Amino acid sequence: MAGLFITLEGGEGAGKTTQCRKIKEYYETLGHEVVLTREPGGTPEAEKIRNLLVQRDGGNWTPMAECLLFFAARQMHVETLIKPAIAYGKVVISDRFTDSTVAYQGYGHGFDLSVIRQIETITLNGFCPDLTFLLDIPVENGLRRSLDQKNKAAGLENTEDRFEKMDKSFHEKLRQGFLTIAKENPDRVTVIDASQSADDVFSQIESALKVTNVI
């Protein structure tokens, strides 16, 4: 039996990590083997690239270089972790995937969307998630949540805040980019109001999972 690939997307502080864990628990109670992963990251090689992309001192990349780094990490992630797990019948849940690159680098930074799609075709050859949940939250609320959570988790100032430190206009374009992606992919992407409590958000996700009945 083939597995399932689910991704969670959204701006900073949307609560993706929490919902990834809840979806993992949901499928485990149904008896499925689950792989929980993230982007950029998921493999030793991709985690090294992550440090270059999300740390505040990771580098001042050109738009093309940044995009290529994301897809280099993603190609390793897909070929060495995601595809083998799906082939084995597991449920793979990823905190971010290609939609984030389109939203952040494309809509947020203004990098040519057609070029991003060309790189996607070359590196992934049409591979995409079965289901995506877009956790949508007003920008100011999300940024506040994200920085608070990272500071608490680290016990001191966290340096994985390169994108949080970008101006509000970037994050507004990012949010609208995600909503555009959802509108263009209604069969794959479900938009969830992430300003609700974590339990209420998961209740909507659970309902959507039951309706799709993919696995």
* Domains of the chain from N-terminus onward: 4-212 (3.40.50.300)
pLDDT digits (tens, 9 = 90+) for 68-79: 999 999 999 999
Query: Closest by alpha carbon to 83, among 1, 147, 3?
Result: 3
pLDDT at 162 (0 to 100): 56
Average pLDDT over every residue of 110-127: 98
CA distance 136 to 35: 24
Residue 175 to residues 85, 88, 106, 140: CA-CA distances in angstroms? 31, 35, 12, 11
Which of the four pLDDT bands, split at 50, 70 and 90, describes residue 157? low
CB of 136 within 8 A of CB of 12?
no
pLDDT of 158 higher than 60: no
**pLDDT of 16-63, one tens digit each?**
999 999 999 999 999 999 999 999 999 999 999 998 888 776 678 899
Average pLDDT of span 129-151: 84
